[in-house]
């Protein structure tokens, strides 16, 4: 129905009445998210929020995998893909100050902003959602996964605590959170359902249709009720200290980056981390054969 040709990393459409859908459209890079993609997602979410005919938003992805995480080769700067939205500033200042400001804008800031959008959102996940890819899943309200979906955050190998939106203990429980972080191994769809991390697991070929059906049910409710229900559940988590915990972990994340920068000659991450994660992914593929 509606298309936005100016987007290059995503598509925006309205597949049914009252439903908007954002699709990560870089299957060629397994939807590795660069900064341009994050700003496009943010802009598309704003379009959906400002369209009174839309009641629910789906975030889906092309290709076999939802998202392989941050695009580590992205050298673009905050401001290259639109005006900064979180009001942080100082992105290019030297040292940890500038780098923390960047991550406050594009990771922590966007995730928390998307988590608090007034309309219900649904993540539709197939294949792998790794580290930064998981940060495109957890901010959303409902999660529908295909049977082959896998969720992991292996970045302890980089010498940090986990990805920047640190809600792991809320999502999978504190013991499972520690194991997923300590080992870097993925949580499969079936286990994620048992843990309450995903709402539904469906066969891959049913994923899109099932998610649309679920969105269709949500879209039958009045927007005000949906908004108030969402705010109330979010505030229940906030009353448990969720936002304080996330910010505290973000500070520790930057202790990790600052440490690595000193020890590894300016690198924000342990250079061995990429190799370890690659080997782990290869071993996982072998085990699945
Ligand atoms: Zn970081």
Per-10-residue mean pLDDT, the chain, length 289: 74 98 96 94 98 98 94 88 93 95 97 98 97 97 98 97 98 98 97 98 98 98 98 98 98 97 94 84 66
Kindly give the distance from the C-alpha atom of residue 130 to the centroid of ligand 1, in angstroms, as a whole number.
14
Kindly give the distance from the C-alpha atom of residue 204 to the centroid of ligand 1, in angstroms, as a whole number.
32
Q: What is the pLDDT of residue 288?
A: 58
Region of 89 (left: φ > 0; alpha: ψ -120 to 50; beta: rest) is left
What is the value of pTM for the model shown? 0.95
φ, ψ for residue 125, nearest 5 deg? -120, 125
Kindly give the distance from the C-alpha atom of residue 4 to the centroid of ligand 1, in angstroms, as a whole number.
30
- Other CB atoms within a 10 A radius of the CB of residue 110 amount to 23
Kindly give the distance from the C-alpha atom of residue 279 to the centroid of ligand 1, in angstroms, as a whole number.
21
Kindly give the distance from the C-alpha atom of residue 249 to the centroid of ligand 1, in angstroms, as a whole number.
11
In a domain, 112, yes or no: yes
Kindly give the distance from the C-alpha atom of residue 103 to the centroid of ligand 1, in angstroms, as a whole number.
6
Q: What is the pLDDT of residue 1?
A: 46
Q: What is the pLDDT of residue 274?
A: 82
- Number of domains forming the structure of the chain: 1
In a domain, 205, yes or no: yes
Kindly give the distance from the C-alpha atom of residue 258 to the centroid of ligand 1, in angstroms, as a whole number.
10
**CATH number for the domain that contains residue 221:** 3.90.226.10
In a domain, 2, yes or no: no
Range of the domain at 85: 10-288
- Evaluate whether 85 touches 113 at the Cβ level (below 8 Å): yes
In a domain, 1, yes or no: no
Q: Report the alpha-carbon distance of residue 67 to residue 59 in Å, rounded.
A: 12
In a domain, 5, yes or no: no
Burial class (CB in 10 A: 0-12, 13-18, 19+), 50: exposed
């Amino acid at each position: 129905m509606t298309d936005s040709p100016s987007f290059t990393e995503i598509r925006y459409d309205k597949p049914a009445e009252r439903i908007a859908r954002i699709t990560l459209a870089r299957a060629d890079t397994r939807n590795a998210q660069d900064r341009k993609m994050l700003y496009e997602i943010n802009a598309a979410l704003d379009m959906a929020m400002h369209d009174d005919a839309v009641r629910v938003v789906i975030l889906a992805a092309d290709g076999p995998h939802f998202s392989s995480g941050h695009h580590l080769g992205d050298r673009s700067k905050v401001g290259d893909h639109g005006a900064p939205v979180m009001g942080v500033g100082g992105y290019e200042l030297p040292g940890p100050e500038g780098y923390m400001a960047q991550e406050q804008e594009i990771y922590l800031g966007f995730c928390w902003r998307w988590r608090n959008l007034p309309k219900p959102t649904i993540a539709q996940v197939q294949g792998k959602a790794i580290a930064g890819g998981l940060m495109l899943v957890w901010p959303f309200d409902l999660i529908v996964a295909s049977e082959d979906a896998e969720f992991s955050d292996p970045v302890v190998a980089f010498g940090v605590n986990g990805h920047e939106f640190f809600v792991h203990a809320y999502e999978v429980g504190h013991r499972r959170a520690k194991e997923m972080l300590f080992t870097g191994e993925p949580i499969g769809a079936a286990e994620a359902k048992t843990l309450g991390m995903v709402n539904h697991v469906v066969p891959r070929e049913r994923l899109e249709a099932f998610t649309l059906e679920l969105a269709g049910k949500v879209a039958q409710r009045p927007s005000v009720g949906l908004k108030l229900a969402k705010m109330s559940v979010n505030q229940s988590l906030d009353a448990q200290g969720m936002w304080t915990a996330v910010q505290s972990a973000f500070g520790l994340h930057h202790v990790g980056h600052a440490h690595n920068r000193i020890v590894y000659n300016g690198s924000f991450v342990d250079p061995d981390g990429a190799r370890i994660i690659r080997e782990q992914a290869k071993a996982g593929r072998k085990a699945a054969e």
